[in-house]
């Protein structure tokens, strides 16, 4: 069963439809990348799943339970298996709190105990040794370390689903691969279901099991990463691959899946 299942989701901002009839799902241990250009509606999906915007239609199932059909009061507890990290590690961490208090926040919200142990385990999981980092304030951290603190805060409740909305957008190029590889490792090693939002197809190629391509509020294509990148069916996916290829200096192998380079060459030639 998929831990997160979005069915026929519609979201409007006033009269404007931002997300139209979107269905997607993520299973345990799977990393799905939602890719698309600016304004496609990717963040709106993340925000709807996290309860930050109210959908106008559809269903969001977590472990088979429809969040939108549940009474408002029950929704917070039903969202416990879901955590979200956002793109900006500068605005997402409260500057006046130490790392250990920031990471512990969700435990307070959900009234969960065993805080010191859970905080230390979460910091370890993101590669920030607690002895070195627990007492620091955000201004004593680099951008990459801040994003790891945000990730530790998301992991501290031991969620089943992590939604990562452009988690590397504000990081410099040298730190991006480390962050996305960490997401992949969390999916592989902890069985986390990861919904990874990005406009970077080369990054999606690196870590995704499946890819969903979004354009103008709708998903135009989704499937195994391999299939979507080697044999794209929708013209918009073709256009994204071409644009990413140009960005990579014309090397299609940077965008195509690593395991099937000969097939990619055959198609490209």
Is residue 39 part of the contact set for ligand ATP (CB under 6 A)?
yes
Nearest approach in angstroms of CB 264 to ligand ATP is: 26
Q: Tell me the backbone φ, ψ of residue 173, rounded to 5 degrees.
A: -55, -35
DSSP letter for 252, please: G
Which of the 8 DSSP states describes residue 54? -
Indicate whether 43 belongs to the interface with ligand ATP (CB under 6 A). Answer: yes
- x/- string (CB under 6 A) for ligand ATP, residues 155-194? ----------------------------------------
Q: Which of residues 215-244 bind ligand ATP (CB under 6 A)?
A: none
Out of 4, 9, 31, 40, the residue judged to bind ligand ATP by CB under 6 A: 40
Binding ligand ATP by CB under 6 A: which of 79, 118, 199, 206? 199
Distance CA 209, CA 195 (A): 11
For 46-101, strand residue ranges (E) read: 57-62, 65-66, 82-85
Shortest Å distance, C-beta 48 to ligand ATP: 9
Helix ranges (H only) for 191-234 are: 201-207, 225-230
- Which residue, 107 or 213, is less far from ligand ATP as judged by CB? 213
Nearer to ligand ATP among residue 44 and residue 145 (C-beta): 44
Among 2, 5, 9, 42, which residue sits at the site for ligand ATP (rule: CB under 6 A)? Answer: 42
For residues 144 and 159, give the distance between their C-alpha atoms in angstroms, rounded to a whole number: 22
Q: Which stretch binds ligand ATP (CB under 6 A): 36-44, 187-195, 202-210, 260-268?
A: 36-44
Structure tokens at 68: 């939108």
Cα 76 to chain center, whole Å? 20
Q: Where are the beta strands (DSSP E) in the chain?
A: 2-13, 16-27, 31-36, 57-62, 65-66, 82-85, 161-165, 193-198, 210-215, 218-224
Residue of the chain from 4, 6, 9, 18 that contacts ligand ATP (CB under 6 A): 18
Can you give the binding site for ligand ATP, defined by CB under 6 A?
13, 18, 36, 38-44, 199
């Amino acid at each position: 069963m998929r831990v997160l299942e979005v069915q026929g989701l519609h979201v409007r901002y006033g009269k404007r439809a931002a997300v139209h009839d979107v269905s997607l799902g993520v299973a345990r241990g799977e990393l799905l990348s939602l890719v698309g250009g600016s304004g496609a509606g990717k963040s709106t999906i993340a925000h709807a799943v996290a309860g930050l915007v109210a959908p106008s239609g559809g269903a969001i199932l977590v472990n088979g339970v429809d969040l939108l059909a549940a009474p408002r009061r029950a929704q917070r507890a039903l969202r416990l298996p879901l955590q979200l990290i956002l793109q900006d590690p500068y605005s997402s961490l409260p500057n006046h709190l130490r790392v250990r208090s920031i990471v512990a926040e969700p435990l307070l919200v959900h009234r969960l105990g065993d805080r010191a142990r859970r905080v230390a385990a979460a910091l370890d999981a993101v590669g920030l040794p607690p002895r070195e980092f627990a007492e620091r304030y955000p201004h004593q951290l680099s951008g990459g370390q801040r994003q790891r603190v945000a990730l530790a805060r998301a992991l501290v409740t031991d969620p089943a689903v992590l939604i990562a909305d452009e988690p590397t957008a504000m990081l410099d190029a040298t730190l991006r691969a480390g962050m996305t590889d960490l997401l992949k490792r969390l999916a592989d090693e902890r069985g986390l279901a990861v919904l990874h939002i990005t406009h970077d197809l080369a990054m999606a190629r690196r870590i995704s099991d499946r890819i969903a391509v979004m354009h103008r509020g709708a998903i135009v294509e989704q499937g195994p990463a391999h299939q979507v990148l080697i044999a794209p069916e929708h013209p918009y996916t073709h256009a994204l691959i071409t644009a990413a290829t140009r960005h990579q200096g014309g090397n299609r192998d940077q965008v195509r899946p690593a395991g099937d380079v000969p097939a990619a060459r055959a198609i490209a030639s």
